[in-house]
Chain A
Amino acid sequence: MSITRRHLLVGSAGVAAGASVSVPLLLPKYHFDRRPKRSRVAILNVDQYSPKLEGILEAALQLFKINVVGKSVVLKPNLVDYFPGDAINTHRMLVFAAVECFRGLGAQSVLVAEGPGHQRDTQLVLFQSGYQECLQRKQIRFVDLNRDELVRTRLRASYSGMKHLWLPRTILESDLVVSMPKIKSHHWSGVTLSMKNMFGVVPGMRYGWPKNILHWVGIQESILDICATVPLHFVIADGVVAMEGNGPLNGTARKMGKLVLSNDPVSADATCARLMGLEPNRVPHIREASRFLGNSSTALIDQAGEAPTPPRTPFQVVPDWQYLHHSL
């Protein structure tokens, strides 16, 4: 069979068209490698929320040699909504213990910041969850990230296809951002831990309630783009009472008795997933983040405190995420 000039032209055009479609899919979607050589995680056994948390946290922070002297620190809890008795939000006692610890370590300022994704009335959530009273009593500034001044910020990864996001100045200009998630299963993203918690920095004022654009461009993809762009320096995850099942709002409270601290959000989330009895590398955003944002492998994590032993009964998840369980 002879190849004519026409065949050659058509073939070349086909190859070019195929390349134009497939090359972007093959190119890496991250533009840097921020993984530390080794990461550190501390797992602490904590039975209940009590005034003792401050001492426990203070001792645990010593393990990380964090220098916050003269720095501005932002604590970003997970404050979604409030239903009495539910384990939806990061417990206020943990957040305020962390404020005291960072103040004690010499931080210039420590503030609490969050942009709830469902509830437009942030002050109502603060009132009902007991945060407001503590904020006033301890004279701690709270910034509503849904209504902060915004800065147009180019995304530093391209999983979602979004080129930029408007992000709160408070987060972008702080020296140390601490993600303080509630350890929960999540019906859309499998789990919601320190990286998913950063959805709260996306301002409702610009993206609505809920921040629906992040769902349309892909939740896993958005988590990666946001965490590649927004500085996330430290994690204190609240698993004293966690949530399983139909999280983040309608799940069931589950006593876990753990706090997880880490200087690497990917290590923190991988460890939390293990403690939930889930396989971290089956959670798409943890698996992908371990290629450029941090370490998920236990071989690269210096473990302090307790071992990341899975529970006898893994956390329940909605049917779409059953495959996160080790046994499947």
Chain B
Amino acid sequence: MPVLMRQELSAFVSWSPLILLTRSEFAITSGCVIPHEVLRARIINELTQRQLSSGGWGTNALSKQVALEPSCLAALAVTPWSDAAYGAHEFLLCSQNPNGSWPAFVGDDRDGSWLTSLASIALRDCVPNIPVRLRGLHWLLNSAGKESNWLWKWKFRTTDRHVRFDPDKYGWPWFPDTISWVVPTSFAILALNQIPCTCGDFGHAANRVNLGIEMLIDRGCPGGGWNAGNGVVYGAPLAPHVDDTAVALLALSERKEHLVAQSGVLWLERTVQGLRSPWSLAWAVLALAAHGRPIESRLTCLMSLPDLSAIEDTSTLAAVSLALGCHDTLSAFGEAT
């Protein structure tokens, strides 16, 4: 990673008095302190460099196959109203499936994926995108985990009871024809919370969101936190994961008082101490901020990781940028900050 450029520092100093900065607003790289906003600008610059001609992003710096997760996260991370943002929006508009959903990557089968939620969130705040977004949200409302069907509900109640969960409480699958999981349900809740009205087909959106929230609460791990969605299997508790927990907490930010949410926050705060993975740490910062917890030390930890702007995985790079711009990101996710 190159050291801090003189012009970057002078530009930064010109609009932000250094004396007001806290430790969390600096990154330490190769012995050189980099201010928070400069680091974020560098990452956004790197994301812009990686943007492909279609306006989307590949999974890593070298990939030419456009994938939706890095594209949606990068679209949220780059500077609003910039050329990169316009290009990203154009890409998302063009890549929607005929049924209103979004695929996992360009060229994918056209039956839809969990990324419909993230794409709908990434297309926020732009009037021409409204019809496309509404079609996406409509698809999302009609999508549900397989356990929503009475036959599978019955199966999970009677013959298939090795995984502990309540099939009456269902959310969203990663892809059609499978059961509900924590991450796709959380992003669907965040997306559907942004529906501007409850008229017409969106009348039952609130019920679906509530059911999804109940599902998240039901699927928590016994000691706090979440993994993919299997809290207990064959009578044994499975361990939670930082990123799954963080995404679930983002979706539960309006249920801060719920005991399951609180135990998730406590687990997350305990676990992120000393964590060295930028992806998990970035999501943890966002979740803790959404729950009103202090994030300075976590941001410092994130910014102290080496070579942040050279992270190969584009989704991780974008997630770090989103964590550094925590306030804007939470606003994009519809969170009150």
Residues of chain A touching chain B, judged by Cβ–Cβ distance below 8 Å, are 81, 83, 118-121, 123-124, 127, 144, 147-150, 152, 166, 187, 205-210, 212-213, 216, 246, 249-250, 318
Query: In the complex, which residues 171-217 of chain B have their Cβ closer than 8 Å to any Cβ of chain A?
Result: 173-175, 177-179, 181, 183-184
Contacts of B236 in A (CB 8 A): 246, 250
17 contacts between A and B (CB under 8 A): A81-B241, A119-B241, A120-B183, A120-B279, A124-B275, A147-B59, A147-B313, A149-B59, A149-B63, A205-B69, A206-B108, A206-B175, A208-B174, A208-B178, A208-B181, A208-B184, A212-B174
Among the 9-residue stretches B87-95, B227-235, B254-262, the one with 4 or more Cβ atoms under 8 Å from chain A is B227-235
CA distance A249 to B183 in the complex (A): 20
Q: Say yes or no: A216 contacts B183, CB within 8 Å.
A: no
Main secondary structure of the interface of B (DSSP, over half): loop
Q: Say yes or no: A123 contacts B227, CB within 8 Å.
A: no
Known: A150-B65, A250-B233. A120 touches B175 (CB 8 A): no
Contacts of B242 in A (CB 8 A): 121, 124
Q: Say yes or no: A318 contacts B280, CB within 8 Å.
A: no
Task: Rank and list the top 7 A-B pairs by shortest CB-CB distance, nearest first.
Answer: A208-B174, A124-B277, A212-B178, A147-B59, A250-B236, A149-B65, A121-B279
Q: B162 on the interface (CB 8 Å rule)?
A: yes
CA distance A81 to B238 in the complex (A): 11
Query: In the complex, which residues 74-89 of chain B have their Cβ closer than 8 Å to any Cβ of chain A?
Result: none
CA distance A166 to B275 in the complex (A): 33
Q: A124-B242, A250-B234, A250-B238 are in contact. List 17 more A-B contacts (CB 8 A).
A: A81-B241, A118-B228, A118-B241, A120-B228, A120-B244, A121-B242, A121-B243, A123-B313, A147-B315, A149-B65, A187-B233, A205-B105, A208-B178, A212-B174, A212-B181, A213-B177, A250-B236
* A-B pairs with beta carbons under 8 A, tally: 95
Contacts of A206 in B (CB 8 A): 104-105, 108, 175
Q: Say yes or no: A83 contacts B241, CB within 8 Å.
A: no
The contact of A213 among B59, B175, B241, by CB within 8 Å, is: B175
Contacts of A150 in B (CB 8 A): 65, 105
Known: A150-B105, A206-B105. A249 touches B238 (CB 8 A): yes
Known: A206-B108, A208-B184. A127 touches B276 (CB 8 A): yes
Q: B333 on the interface (CB 8 Å rule)?
A: no
Q: Say yes or no: A207 contacts B174, CB within 8 Å.
A: yes
Contacts of A147 in B (CB 8 A): 59-60, 67, 313, 315
Contacts of A144 in B (CB 8 A): 313
Contacts of B227 in A (CB 8 A): 118
Q: B133 on the interface (CB 8 Å rule)?
A: no
CA distance A265 to B104 in the complex (A): 32
Contacts of A123 in B (CB 8 A): 277-279, 313, 316
Q: Say yes or no: A83 contacts B63, CB within 8 Å.
A: no
Q: Say yes or no: A205 contacts B179, CB within 8 Å.
A: no
Q: Say yes or no: B174 contacts A209, CB within 8 Å.
A: yes
CA distance A213 to B238 in the complex (A): 21
Q: Say yes or no: B59 contacts A208, CB within 8 Å.
A: no
Q: B26 on the interface (CB 8 Å rule)?
A: no
CA distance A187 to B235 in the complex (A): 11
Q: Say yes or no: B175 contacts A121, CB within 8 Å.
A: no
Query: In the complex, which residues 245-301 of chain B have their Cβ closer than 8 Å to any Cβ of chain A?
Result: 275-280
Contacts of B241 in A (CB 8 A): 81, 118-121
CA distance A249 to B240 in the complex (A): 12
Known: A205-B67, A205-B69. A212 touches B179 (CB 8 A): yes
Q: B165 on the interface (CB 8 Å rule)?
A: no
Contacts of B107 in A (CB 8 A): 152
Q: B170 on the interface (CB 8 Å rule)?
A: no
Q: Which residue of A lies closest to B275 (CB)?
A: A124
The contact of A205 among B104, B162, B173, B239, by CB within 8 Å, is: B104
Contacts of A205 in B (CB 8 A): 59, 67, 69, 104-105
The smallest beta-carbon distance between A291 and chain B, in angstroms, is 28
The smallest beta-carbon distance between B108 and chain A, in angstroms, is 7
The smallest beta-carbon distance between B307 and chain A, in angstroms, is 11
CA distance A144 to B279 in the complex (A): 14
Q: Say yes or no: A83 contacts B234, CB within 8 Å.
A: no
Contacts of B67 in A (CB 8 A): 147, 205
Contacts of A127 in B (CB 8 A): 276-277
Contacts of A148 in B (CB 8 A): 59
The smallest beta-carbon distance between B332 and chain A, in angstroms, is 21
Q: B114 on the interface (CB 8 Å rule)?
A: yes
Contacts of B162 in A (CB 8 A): 187
Contacts of B69 in A (CB 8 A): 205
Known: A147-B59, A148-B59, A209-B183. A83 touches B277 (CB 8 A): no
Q: B146 on the interface (CB 8 Å rule)?
A: yes
CA distance A81 to B59 in the complex (A): 21
The contact of A216 among B178, B230, B315, by CB within 8 Å, is: B178
The smallest beta-carbon distance between B112 and chain A, in angstroms, is 12
Contacts of A81 in B (CB 8 A): 239, 241
Q: Say yes or no: B276 contacts A208, CB within 8 Å.
A: no
Contacts of B174 in A (CB 8 A): 207-209, 212
Q: Say yes or no: A121 contacts B280, CB within 8 Å.
A: yes
Known: A149-B65, A205-B67, A208-B175. A83 touches B59 (CB 8 A): no
